[in-house]
Chains A and B, each alone.
Chain A
Amino acid sequence: MYSPMDNYIQMLGGDSADAVSQFYGMGSYNSSNPYANIRTNAGYGDNAGDGLYADLIRAQTRDYNQRFAPIENFLAGQITATGTKSLGDDLARTRSSSLGAVANAQGQQGRSMGRMGLTNTSNIANSTTAVGGLVGGLNDTRLRDTDRRTSILSGSMSGISQKARGTGQ
């Protein structure tokens, strides 16, 4: 099942296994599995089991640092003084949704009036309702972004700082 090289690497500890893999150009060795190279045999010696445990902990720490720590950094980096960095995109989407909906409703109204042989003279885009909807939507977007910032820091979305302190990561 495993080649002699695989078996050899498997017998090595986590850091050594990675170093040997890279030296022999096996850097991409099963890269999707960060635990592929950990040995499963404690071997012999005074503290063989303890040594294997230590290797496992190091492998888990390395995996966390490679796969999960960047996500933590990303989340922390999203927080701004007033909300999150997603605010700009959210505002643009709100604006586009409101303006698109106005154009859509205007078209529907025109077709509806046309079916009765009437000309549509209403201008939905300039109506208080539509403009008020847009302004209200933008304000709501800002408020929700501020709430999101709170949730990321301390609430249901993540609470990243408490977790970081709790696990010592």
Chain B
Amino acid sequence: MGGGGGGPEELESKKALAEQSANALRRYGQTFVPLENMFIEDTKRMFDYDASENAMAMAQNQTSSLYEQGLGDMQSAQFNMGLDPTSGRVKKESSALREAQARGMGLAGAGAGIDYTDAAYQGLGNVINMGQGLQTNAMDGNINRLQAGLDRSGAQAKSDFARSSSLQSIAGTGAGMAYGSYGLGGG
């Protein structure tokens, strides 16, 4: 028996390909691993309790300004209608809109906080994708998340304003007056 010893000789191109892969992996380690590590650390920090503070505050401020405009318009309408600021109607209506503002701000801030936590989880999901060489999912940035929250707040504010009889009178519908309802109703 005996024989020529060993199997077929390894192709030189296979060695070259292996060396090419090794070089690519080293370069990946030098250039991209630190960036990946930075992303991983940033994403982990998103789970800190206070991390979403800024996002929540911004959402609250922006929502507040939506209602401020409505409150200003409502006051102008009340003055134009010659309503007595000390009257129960004026007090009730402005108070009702303030309550709606408080609810809107609270929910906008809470929503921003939850969106932030969701983004943190999505970020970690992307980290795993990176590790497994899978395509990562597109993530919304801070501004997009804020805008989505504001769109919801804006729709709610619009609905709240629609229930203010003084604001209705500005719109010329007179619906609020016709209904004889004071305040925002349901508040």
Q: Which residues of A contact B (CB under 8 A)?
A: 32-36, 38-42, 46-50, 52-53, 55-56, 59-60, 63-64, 67-69, 71-72, 74-75, 78, 84, 86, 89-90, 92-94, 97-102, 104-106, 108-109, 112-113, 116, 118, 121-122, 124, 127-130, 132-134, 136-137, 140-141, 144, 148, 151-152, 156-160, 163, 167, 169
Q: Are B18 and A52 in contact (CB under 8 A)?
A: yes
Closest B residue to A50 using CB positions: B10
- Smallest Cβ distance from B161 to chain A, in angstroms? 14
Q: Are B26 and A122 in contact (CB under 8 A)?
A: no
Q: Would A105 and B33 be within 8 Å (CB), given that A59-B25, A94-B114, A157-B118 are in contact? A: no
- Smallest Cβ distance from B28 to chain A, in angstroms? 7
Contact of B125 among A93, A118, A141, A157 (CB under 8 A): A157
Main DSSP-derived SS at the B contact region:
helix
Q: How far is the CA of A90 from the CA of B9 in the complex (A)?
A: 62
Q: Is B81 an interface residue (CB 8 A)?
A: no
Q: Are A32 and B125 in contact (CB under 8 A)?
A: no
Q: Are B113 and A90 in contact (CB under 8 A)?
A: yes
Closest B residue to A99 using CB positions: B106
Q: Which of B94-153 contact A (CB under 8 A)?
A: 94-96, 98-111, 113-114, 117-118, 121-122, 124-125, 127-132, 134, 137
Q: Would A74 and B99 be within 8 Å (CB), given that A68-B132, A109-B94, A116-B85 are in contact? A: no
Q: How far is the CA of A69 from the CA of B99 in the complex (A)?
A: 48
What are 19 A-B contacts defined by CB distance under 8 Å? Answer: A42-B15, A56-B25, A71-B124, A93-B52, A93-B56, A93-B114, A97-B108, A105-B99, A106-B102, A124-B95, A124-B102, A129-B186, A130-B102, A130-B106, A133-B106, A140-B107, A144-B114, A157-B122, A158-B121
Closest A residue to B98 using CB positions: A109
Contacts of A47 in B (CB 8 A): 10
B contact residues, total (Cβ < 8 Å): 70
List 10 tightest A-B contacts by C-beta distance, closest first: A68-B131, A158-B125, A35-B29, A133-B103, A97-B109, A98-B106, A101-B105, A105-B102, A49-B15, A101-B106
